[in-house]
Amino acid sequence: MKNFRFIPAILLLFGLSATLMGNEWANYYFPDAVGSYWVYEDQNGDELTRYAIEPEEIDGESYRTFSYDPALENWADFEHYIQPYFYQVGADWVAFFVGTEIENALKAATMEQMEEAMILMRQALMEQMPEGLNITFDLDYDVEVDSQDYFYFLPTPATFGEEWTAIEINVVLTMTIDIKGMPIEIPGGSTQTVKTYTTLVESGNVTGTETVETEAGTFEDCLVIEYRTDASTETVMSVETPQQPGPQEQQDVTLTTIWLAPNVGIVKFEHQHEGSEENEALGLEMPEDQTLELIQYEIKSSGSSEDE
C-alpha cells in the first residue's frame, strides 16, 4: 500500500514541476510584472503604450491585466494579438481572454465594409434601372459574430514547427434587398435575402528564432510566431425560394507575424491582409497592412516594484 500511495505523490510532484516550468518559460518570453510598460510605433507613426497593471478576478478566475494609451475608440481598430486586456499564463498556454472584444471588433469592421459596399451596390442598381420606371429598392444587412472566449497565443513551452488552433470564429452576414415597382414579376418575390456563413480558423506556429533590430534596441533569439487565418464561406440565396447551399470556398484571409524577445516580450508585429475576388468585384479596398515596432520599454523585476 505504501508503494501505491507513493505513485500519486510522484505524479503530483511531476505535475507541479511541469506547471512551474511552463510558467517560467512563458514569463521568459512574455514578462508582465506590474509597473512594466512597452511603447510601440505603427506604420503611420502613431504610438501605442501598453502597461502591466494589477491582476483582476472575473467570475472567480484570476487574470493578469494590461491597459493601453491611447484608449481604444473604435472597435474596428482592435487587434487581439496586441491589445488583450485580460489574459492567463498557465502550464499549457499563454491565453488571451478576448472573445467579446473579437466579436465587437469583427462586427464593427464588417459593418464599416458593408456601409461602403451598400453605397456601391446602390449606385450599380441605379445605373441598371430602365429610365421612366418608378422603381425603388431598399438594401439592409445584419452581422452576427460568435467567437471562442480565448485566443491561444502561445503554448508553454512551444515546439518549433508544431501548429495549434489559436481561435475559431463564426460570422453570419445577412443581406436583404426589397425592390418595388418592377414591371415584371420577380421570381421568389420582391424581397430577396442572401445569407453568408463564414468560419474563420486561426492557426499558430512557432517557426524559429531571429535577431530583430528596432529603435528600442537589438534583440537576439526572438521567437517568431506566425498566425494564419483561413476562411471557409457558404452562401444561401433567398429565404422565400430555398436553394441548395453553394459550395464552400476556402481562402487565406490574413498572415500575422509576431516576434517575442527573451525577458522583453513583443518587439515587432506585422499583419498582412490577403485580397479576395469578391472585394475586387465590389470595388472595395482591403485594410492596409499593419506594423508595430518597439521604440521604448521598461521591465520591472518580478514580484517587486523596483526596476531591474
List, for residues 8-54, the tens digit of each pLDDT value: 443 333 333 334 345 677 888 999 899 999 999 999 999 999 999 99
Across 232-236, average pLDDT: 88
d(CA 236, CA 224): 40
**Residue in the structure block whose three cell numbers are 460568435:** 146
Q: Which residue has the higher pLDDT, 3 or 300?
A: 300
Q: Which residue has the higher pLDDT, 28 or 168?
A: 168
Which of the four pLDDT bands, split at 50, 70 and 90, describes residue 183? low
The model's pTM = 0.80
What dihedral angle (degrees, nearest 10) is formed by the CA atoms of 284, 249, 225, 83?
50
Which of the four pLDDT bands, split at 50, 70 and 90, describes residue 157? confident
DSSP 3-state of 157: coil
**Which DSSP category does 98 fall into?**
-
DSSP 3-state of 21: helix
d(CA 179, CA 192): 8
272-168-139 Cα angle (round to 5): 75
**What is the percent of the chain where pLDDT is above 90?**
54
Q: Is residue 254 over pLDDT 90?
A: no
Question: Residue 254: which residues within 8 A CB-CB, separation 6 or more?
Answer: 227, 228, 229, 271, 272, 273, 274
